[in-house]
Amino acid sequence: MSRTAFLIGGIFPYLAATVFLIGVVSRLRAWRRVPQPGLMTVYPTKGSGMAELAKEALFFPSLFRGDRTLWLLSWSFHVALALALIGHLRVVTALLDRGLATVGVSSSGIAAMSAIAGGGAGIVLLVTVMTLLARRLLVARVREVSTPPDFLALLLLIAVITTGNVMRFGGTHFGLAETRVWAVSLLTFSPVVPANPAFLLHAFFAELTILYVAFSKLMHFGGFFFTVALAKRSQP
């Protein structure tokens, strides 16, 4: 284990997780504490709150009506991201595997699903995020509002996604089994860091991104629920 590899695989994960948790929780708490006198309702809304909030979170209907192209990019990006995150859960839990096995999926079937869903998600993520970057550079109304943090977020994502894809599709495949060994070593506080370069780069960029979340617009994953709830709520 080189010193760099140990930093990336044995130290930064704890740091990133700590900063992420403290940062996100304190941000959410700060938002919750702030009062909202009066209504902010923007029609059309049925004023039902939760149902419409869920619809917005799952299908982005407002964006669909506002900008169809961006909707397609954004929605497929987020769906693929969700798939990728679900796939990553398999590193720390066997729940998904067991669930699939219970309904009769064979282990080679699970592997095939992982290849299709996970591999597909990796490609969709890369295509959409690259297109989002191109859009930010080429479309005037987006370019003129773009600032360094907007590019930083995209570049970080591109780095994470690319290295992730290299792990799956690259010459020296680094898969679930190897990652599970590392995760177990982390969770038992006795980190053993593999030397696979694609893995180390992927972990490094993922850790940077996770560190960055609480200080960036990526917090919209939580803020969304506050702002949309305010816009849809029609009763005090």
Partner 1 sequence: MTDAQTDRDSVVKSVSAIKSGPRALRLYMDVCAKCGTCAEVCPVYYGKPEAKYNPANRSDLIRTLFKRHNTLSGKLLGGLAGAKDFDQAEFEAWRDIFYSCTACRRCAQFCPFGIDNSVITRKARTILDGLGRTPATLQRVIKASLETRNTDGASAVAFKAAIAFIEEEMRDEHGVDIKIPVDVVGAEYFYLPPSGDALVNIEATMGVAKVFHVLGMGDKWTMSSHCFDGANYGLFTGNDAQMKAANKACVDEAKRLGVKFLLMGECGHAHRVMKAMMVSGMWWGELPFQVINCMEWTADQIRAGRLQFDKSKNPQSVTYHDPCNFAKSCGIVEAPRVILRAACLDYREMTPSGAENWCCGGGGGLAAMSELREFRMTVSGVKKHEQIKSTGAAFVATACANCKRQLAQLMEHHKARVTVGGVHDMLSRAILVDGKAAERKCYEE
Task: Choose between 109 and 149: whose C-beta lies nearer to partner 1.
Answer: 149
Q: Does 77 bind partner 1 (CB under 8 A)?
A: no
Among 3, 29, 37, 138, binds partner 1 (CB under 8 A): 37
Query: Which CB atom, from 49 or from 170, has the smaller least distance to partner 1?
Result: 49
The residue from 51, 65, 82, 107 that contacts partner 1 (CB under 8 A) is 65
Binding of partner 1 by 31 (CB under 8 A): yes
What whole-number distance in Å separates Cα of residue 199 and Cα of residue 60?
33
Residues 191-230 that bind partner 1 (CB under 8 A): 215, 217, 219-220, 223-224, 226-228, 230
Nearest approach, Cβ of residue 182 and partner 1 (Å)? 30
Task: Output the DSSP codes for the chain.
Answer: --HHHHIIIIIHHHHHHHHHHHHHHHHHHHHHHS---S----SS--S-THHHHHHHHHH-HHHHHH-HHHHHHHHHHHHHHHHHHHHHHTTT--HHHHHHHHTT--HHHHHHHIIIIIHHHHHHHHHHHHHHHHHHHH-HHHHTT--HHHHHHHHHHHHHHHHHHHHHHSSS---HHHHHHHHHHHHTT-------HHHHHHHHHHHHHHHHHTTSGGGHHHHHHHHHHHHH----
Q: Is 150 an interacting residue with respect to partner 1 (CB under 8 A)?
A: yes
**Least distance between partner 1 and beta carbon 150 (Å):** 5
Give residues 116-145 in contact with partner 1 (rule: CB under 8 A): 139-142, 144-145
Work out how close the CB of 135 gets to partner 1 at its nearest, in angstroms, rounded to a whole number: 8
Shortest reach from residue 84's CB to partner 1, in Å: 19
Give residue 174's region: left, alpha or beta (phi > 0; psi -120 to 50).
beta
Binding residues for partner 1, total number by CB under 8 A: 51
In whole angstroms, the minimum distance from the beta carbon of 18 to partner 1 comes to 16
Residues that bind partner 1 (CB under 8 A): 27, 30-31, 34-45, 56, 60, 62-63, 65-67, 70, 74, 139-142, 144-150, 152, 215, 217, 219-220, 223-224, 226-228, 230-232, 234-236
